[in-house]
């Protein structure tokens, strides 16, 4: 048993559902108790999704527990197949129902007899892996399923496209700024003359998966999702992959140069040096920002970084290498990936922190007393308590990570966004000096505004304490309206009765 106040990565079934529902026309059936289906809420609310989330819960209740669930699950699969004609139905249990140790594969096999679409059981251990690992595994499982199916039917397309092409692997629903990153990556590939053969899983049809081998290489921007698939495609078809996240000016250049090498090895003759040069100097404002006078005061400022491996490693490098900020420690909650993370941030920070205990992270922040934090929503919260600004750079996702405007983290536009994030997180330039000289913006306590200074209204004890129970942001309005009401009616004392009468009369 573990005392947990916060989770950096969700449970396994969330990863599976993120992948399954990212595909077009794929439905997921959850074998789970009532209330375990909050994935639908997250997707519908955070992504502002216009369609019903293609996830149906086959509800496990006391009755199912007593009588077994076989018929129910099979019925629900065949029902959904008939109702919505999905290409694929993915069945997944949750932490809870996986303990029942039912033979779900058998349910799938039985349902498959009557369904037009394919049926697949997501093969993950719900107690050993988290959301990220389960998503990675499910994507690989689905890709493998359709590659093998195509191979059996003899319609696997392995012939390379005539022009250099790429599969972008790992863009999914409920990912951290995934949609905007995807747009940016597509633009980047198009600028480089590389055709996008497929983007998976977001928006892809499972029927397209048999064409994956046509790409010249695979790009895996986030190592948390897609690496297993890329490795599978490499071992099956020898397709090389690039897993350098193009985040920040330097890493983007490194990613593009690796792509250049891979393409040239396959007989293309490409040279991206001019492109990298132009983008760095003229498209990205980040390189200039780091050299501007405003950024001078960032030199040597202390920051800490925490997040998933991809974002935390990239951010550490950007802060240290591109902005001259002193990263006191960098950390990740992807404990299973600690070796890679340590190698990546080696030399870019004083210390490394690998943990999924938010308390330990909070303590480490308090000890370091940095000028800014770059972390997750949890660190933003810690920052608020310690009065240290925090820029959010990694999942767990939050409604703020689904902005209406264009805010990618990757590619050259991403470098601008990150520069803004850093700029806005620190107090900068003249502001820094003014704060020091004058000791803050507001040196006087704000005086409570009242409607008139010579108020002859008296709040009695109960009413006053009732008033104090009202949330601060509306308290002023309630007070004003109640006093106006009392004055209009000639009350000199405000009692609870007057207060509620005012509420009824004027909605105070």
Partner 1 sequence: MTVAQPETQPQGLNFECETGNYHTFCPISCVAWLYQKIEDSFFLVIGTKTCGYFLQNAMGVMIFAEPRYAMAELEEGDISAQLNDYEELKRLCLQIKRDRNPSVIVWIGTCTTEIIKMDLEGLAPKLEAEINIPIVVARANGLDYAFTQGEDTVLAAMAGRCPDKAPTSDGEKGERHAIHKLLQFGRKPEDVAAEETGYVQHPPLVLFGSLPDPVVTQLTLELKKQGIKVSGWLPTKRYTELPVIEEGYYVSGVNPFLSRTASTLMRRRKCKLIGAPFPIGPDGTRAWIEKICSVFGITPTGLAEREQMIWESLEDYVKLIRGKSVFFMGDNLLEISLARFLIRCGMTCPEIGIPYMDKRYQSAELALLEKTCHEMDVPMPTIVEKPDNYNQIQRIDDLCPDLVITGMAHANPLEARGINTKWSVEFTFAQIHGFSNARDILELVTRPLRRNHVLKDLGWDKLVRETVTAVN
Please tell me whether residue 504 binds partner 1 under the rule CB under 8 A. Answer: yes
Q: Which of 445, 449, 469, 492 lies at the binding interface for partner 1 (CB under 8 A)?
A: 469
Q: Which stretch binds partner 1 (CB under 8 A): 120-128, 142-150, 155-163, 429-437?
A: 120-128
Q: Which of 16, 21, 22, 53 lies at the binding interface for partner 1 (CB under 8 A)?
A: 53
CB of 379 vs partner 1, minimal distance in Å: 11
Q: Considering only CA atoms, which of 347, 306, 301, 351 is closest in space to residue 326?
A: 301
CB of 126 vs partner 1, minimal distance in Å: 8
Nearer to partner 1 (CB atom), residue 14 or residue 327: 14
What is the per-residue binding string for partner 1 in 77-116, x denoting contact by CB under 8 A?
------x----------xxx--xx----------------
- Please state the φ and ψ torsions of residue 219, each to the nearest 5 degrees: -110, 125
Please tell me whether residue 371 binds partner 1 under the rule CB under 8 A. Answer: no
Please tell me whether residue 60 binds partner 1 under the rule CB under 8 A. Answer: yes
Q: Which stretch binds partner 1 (CB under 8 A): 59-67, 156-164, 313-321, 422-430?
A: 59-67
d(CA 391, CA 159): 45
CA atoms within 13 A on the CB side of 273: 2
> Which tokens sit at 131?
């959301």
Please tell me whether residue 500 binds partner 1 under the rule CB under 8 A. Answer: yes
Catalytic, 118? Answer no
d(CA 488, CA 291): 63
CB of 421 vs partner 1, minimal distance in Å: 21
Contact assessment for residue 293 and residue 281, using Cβ atoms and an 8 Å cutoff: no
CB neighbour list of residue 478: distance below 8 Å, 6 or more residues apart: 467, 470, 503, 508
Residue ranges in 85-129 assigned as alpha helix (H) = 95-98, 104-114
d(CA 112, CA 89): 10
Nearer to partner 1 (CB atom), residue 298 or residue 393: 393
Q: Which of 1, 269, 293, 447 lies at the binding interface for partner 1 (CB under 8 A)?
A: 1
d(CA 95, CA 424): 40
Please tell me whether residue 404 binds partner 1 under the rule CB under 8 A. Answer: no
Nearer to partner 1 (CB atom), residue 358 or residue 415: 358
> Which tokens sit at 492?
């000199």
Where b means 16+ CB within 10 Å and e means fewer, 273-285 reads eebbeebbeebbb
Please tell me whether residue 378 binds partner 1 under the rule CB under 8 A. Answer: yes
Q: Considering only CA atoms, which of 19, 11, 128 is closest in space to residue 396?
A: 11
d(CA 363, CA 357): 10
d(CA 354, CA 334): 7
Size of residue set near partner 1 by CB under 8 A: 63
Nearer to partner 1 (CB atom), residue 277 or residue 384: 384
Please tell me whether residue 360 binds partner 1 under the rule CB under 8 A. Answer: no
Q: Can you give 384-433 as a three-state secondary structure string?
A: HHHCCCEEECCCCCCHHHCCCCCCCCCHHHHHHHHHHHHHHHCCCHHHHH
Nearer to partner 1 (CB atom), residue 33 or residue 389: 33
Please tell me whether residue 48 binds partner 1 under the rule CB under 8 A. Answer: yes
d(CA 187, CA 441): 43
Nearer to partner 1 (CB atom), residue 44 or residue 112: 44
Please tell me whether residue 40 binds partner 1 under the rule CB under 8 A. Answer: yes
Contact assessment for residue 498 and residue 482, using Cβ atoms and an 8 Å cutoff: yes
CB of 307 vs partner 1, minimal distance in Å: 16
CB of 61 vs partner 1, minimal distance in Å: 5
CB of 166 vs partner 1, minimal distance in Å: 32
Q: Which of 294, 363, 488, 497 is catalytic?
A: 294
Q: Which stretch binds partner 1 (CB under 8 A): 102-110, 219-227, 230-238, 374-382?
A: 374-382
Q: Which of 82, 430, 434, 505 lies at the binding interface for partner 1 (CB under 8 A)?
A: 505
DSSP H/E element including 317 = helix 309-317
d(CA 392, CA 177): 11
Please tell me whether residue 49 binds partner 1 under the rule CB under 8 A. Answer: yes
What residues does 29 pair with on adjacent strands?
A: 56, 91
Nearer to partner 1 (CB atom), residue 235 or residue 387: 387
CB of 33 vs partner 1, minimal distance in Å: 4
CB of 180 vs partner 1, minimal distance in Å: 20
Q: Which stretch binds partner 1 (CB under 8 A): 153-161, 262-270, 428-436, 463-471?
A: 463-471
Q: Other CB atoms closer than 10 Å to residue 315's CB: what's the count?
A: 29
Nearer to partner 1 (CB atom), residue 192 or residue 501: 501
CB of 35 vs partner 1, minimal distance in Å: 3
Please tell me whether residue 13 binds partner 1 under the rule CB under 8 A. Answer: yes
Virtual torsion, Cα 381, 325, 220, 23, nearest 10 deg: 30
Q: Which of 357, 466, 475, 484 lies at the binding interface for partner 1 (CB under 8 A)?
A: 466
d(CA 129, CA 337): 12
Contact assessment for residue 226 and residue 136, using Cβ atoms and an 8 Å cutoff: yes
CB of 47 vs partner 1, minimal distance in Å: 9
The site for partner 1 (CB under 8 A) is made up of 1-7, 10-14, 33-38, 40-42, 44-45, 48-53, 56-62, 65, 76, 83, 94-96, 99-100, 126-128, 130, 377-378, 381, 396-397, 466, 469-470, 496-497, 500, 503-505, 507
Q: Which residues are catalytic?
A: 294
């Amino acid at each position: 048993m573990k005392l947990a106040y916060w989770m950096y990565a969700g449970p396994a079934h969330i990863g599976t559902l993120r992948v399954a529902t990212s595909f077009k026309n794929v439905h997921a059936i959850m074998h789970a108790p009532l209330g375990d289906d909050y994935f639908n809420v997250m997707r519908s609310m955070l992504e502002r999704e216009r369609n019903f989330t293609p996830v149906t819960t086959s509800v496990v209740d006391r009755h199912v527990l007593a009588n077994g669930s076989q018929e129910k699950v099979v019925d629900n699969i065949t029902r959904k197949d008939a109702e919505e004609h999905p290409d694929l139905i993915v069945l997944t249990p949750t932490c809870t129902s996986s303990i029942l140790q039912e033979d779900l594969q058998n349910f799938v096999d039985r349902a498959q007899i009557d369904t037009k679409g394919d049926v697949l059981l997501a093969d993950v251990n719900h107690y050993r892996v988290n959301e990220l690992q389960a998503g990675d595994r499910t994507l690989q499982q689905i890709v493998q399923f359709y590659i093998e199916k195509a191979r059996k039917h003899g319609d696997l397309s392995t012939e390379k496209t005539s022009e250099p092409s790429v599969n972008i692997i790992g863009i999914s629903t409920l990912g951290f700024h995934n949609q905007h990153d995807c747009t940016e990556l597509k633009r980047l590939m198009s600028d480089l003359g590389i055709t996008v053969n497929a983007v998976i899983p977001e928006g892809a049809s499972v029927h397209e998966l048999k064409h994956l081998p046509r790409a010249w290489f695979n790009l895996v921007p986030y190592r948390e999702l897609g690496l297993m698939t890329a490795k599978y495609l490499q071992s099956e078809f020898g397709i090389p992959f690039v897993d350098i996240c193009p985040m920040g000016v330097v890493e983007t250049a490194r990613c593009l140069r690796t792509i250049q090498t891979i393409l040239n090895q396959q007989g293309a003759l490409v040279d991206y040096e001019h492109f990298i040069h132009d983008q760095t100097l003229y498209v990205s404002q980040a390189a200039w920002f780091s050299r501007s006078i405003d950024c001078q005061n960032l030199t040597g400022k202390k920051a800490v970084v925490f997040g998933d491996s991809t974002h935390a490693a990239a951010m550490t490098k950007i802060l240290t290498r591109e902005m001259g900020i002193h990263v006191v420690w960098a950390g990740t909650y992807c404990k299973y990936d600690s070796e890679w993370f340590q190698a990546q941030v080696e030399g870019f920070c004083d210390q490394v922190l690998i943990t999924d205990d938010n308390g330990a992270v909070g303590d480490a922040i308090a000890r370091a007393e940095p000028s800014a934090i770059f972390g997750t929503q949890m660190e933003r919260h810690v920052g608020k308590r310690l009065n240290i600004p925090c820029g959010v750079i990694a999942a767990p996702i939050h409604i703020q990570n689904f902005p209406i405007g264009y805010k990618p983290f990757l590619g050259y536009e991403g470098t601008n966004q990150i520069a803004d994030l850093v700029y806005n997180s620190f107090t900068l330039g003249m502001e820094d000096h003014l704060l020091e000289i004058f000791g803050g913006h507001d040196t006087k306590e704000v005086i409570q505004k009242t409607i008139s200074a010579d108020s002859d209204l008296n709040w009695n004890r109960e009413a006053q304490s009732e008033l104090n129970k009202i949330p601060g942001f509306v308290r002023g309005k309630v007070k004003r309206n109640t006093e106006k009401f009392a004055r209009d009616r000639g009350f000199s004392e405000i009692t609870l009765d007057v207060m509620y009468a005012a509420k009824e009369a004027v909605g105070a």
